[in-house]
Amino acid sequence: MNIGKSTKKEIQFLITVITGFLLILSYLPVFAQQSDSIVPIKKDPEVLLRKINIKSVTKHGFNFWQDDFTGHWAGIDFGFNTFVNTDYTGYDTEFMKSNLFRSNSLYINLIQQSIGLQANRNTIGLVTGLGVQFKGYRLDRNTTFERQPNGRIVPVVLTYNDNQRSKLSLIYLTLPLLAEFQVPVKHYNDRFYFSGGLFMGYRVSAQTKVIYRVDKKEKLKIPDSFSTPKLKYGVMVRAGYRWINLFATYDFQPFFKEGLGPQLTPLTFGFTILGF
């Protein structure tokens, strides 16, 4: 069978088109594989992840805060001392009535231990530590007191001059145990906090001091226990936000031992001067 020149050209063109189409189909999987596959990076994974410590940010979940719980105890506090629930039965005068603004406490809280109670957050925890309380009561300038041999506290009227001053000073070691709750505000470093719990105090020393003048300025100091308990305990609350930090303590024990003095319940409230 004779095939014309034009027919041969058409057949050759058709074969060329079919061949090209088959070649394109054969390369399509390669193109698809290249577009969908992940090209590995030939670098040491340890170098890439050197700055990421997975254990530090995960603990049964992701730790959004990435910090340990830190409470609010360490620092320097200043407070005002007063008495509540007073009962002077058996006494003629309220000789322990003190000047509120001149009856102060200075707390130096040097040791703090914070214990977080959450796995993935750091906003709830326990706070304990150790501090020293310097506590003073400015009494009426014409009155002080003393302890009789039977332990009973009795007032003493001062007759030196009109410029005399009378004060009772005590030093305690203070140990708190507080539950603290923190609420982040705007940024998690700025937090409102509230804590409350118990505290215990151990009396280190106590003394009365009378300052008077005869020919020159004199100081009369009398150290004694003054029938105050060696150990005291009570409740403490603390709250604050940024540079505003307040606290208050309320003793569960009377200031003097039962039956040896007037019934007085110590109350102290104040603010933090400096936080550590």
- Per-residue pLDDT tens digits for 99-146: 999 999 999 999 999 999 998 888 999 999 999 999 999 998 788 999
| Beta pairing, strands 231-241 & 153-157 | unpaired
**pLDDT tens-place string over residues 42-60:** 666 555 545 555 445 444 4
3-state secondary structure 123-192: CEEEEEEEEEEEEEEEECCCEEEEECCCCCEEEEECCCCCCCEEEEEEEEEEEEEEEEEEEEECEEEEEE
**C-alpha closest to that of 240 among 268, 266, 276, 275:** 275
Q: Which residue has the higher pLDDT, 220 or 271?
A: 271
Q: Give the tens place of pLDDT for each residue, 157-179.
A: 887 766 788 999 999 999 999 99
User: CATH classification of 74-275 is 2.40.160, yes or no?
Assistant: yes
For residues 117 and 141, the answer to whether their CB atoms sit within 8 Å is no
pTM over 0.95: no
Average predicted confidence (pLDDT) for the chain: 83
Nearest to 135 by CA among 99, 107, 177, 98: 107
Check: CB of residue 221 under 8 Å from CB of residue 207.
yes
Percent of the chain with pLDDT over 90: 62
**For residue 240, what is the enclosing H or E element?**
strand 231-241
**Domain-wise residue ranges, the chain:** 74-275
Scanning 37-141, the segments in alpha helix (DSSP H) are 45-48, 54-57
